[in-house]
Amino acid sequence: MHINIRKLEKIRLKRDQAKTHFAKSIGISCNQYYNYIYGYGTPKEKTIKKIAENLGVDPRELVED
């Protein structure tokens, strides 16, 4: 399962937040966020659910096919 980074970045930019602040606001570390952006590692299902909950979106919106 891969997270849709384009979707996350779109939300981040809409909120006008720096990557470090955005990572904190969605409940993950800055290092994790950068790893996802650059394609290192794949978040677990529970991490995607936590991010979605913190963003107030359906987890399926954050997953790429």
Residues 6+ positions from 30 with CB-CB distance below 8 Å: 19, 20, 23, 24
Per-residue model confidence (pLDDT) at position 30: 95
Q: What is the C-alpha to C-alpha distance for residues 42 and 55, in angstroms, rounded to an integer?
A: 19
| 20 vs 64: CA distance, rounded Å | 23
Q: Is residue 59 pLDDT above 90, yes or no?
A: yes
| Fold type of domain 2-57 | 434 Repressor (Amino-terminal Domain) (1.10.260)
**CA 43 – CA 58 distance, rounded (Å):** 16
Which pTM was predicted?
Answer: 0.88
pLDDT digits over 3-49, tens only? 899 999 999 999 999 999 999 999 999 999 999 999 898 899 999 99
Distance CA 56, CA 34 (A): 21
Quick one: pLDDT at residue 27?
A: 96
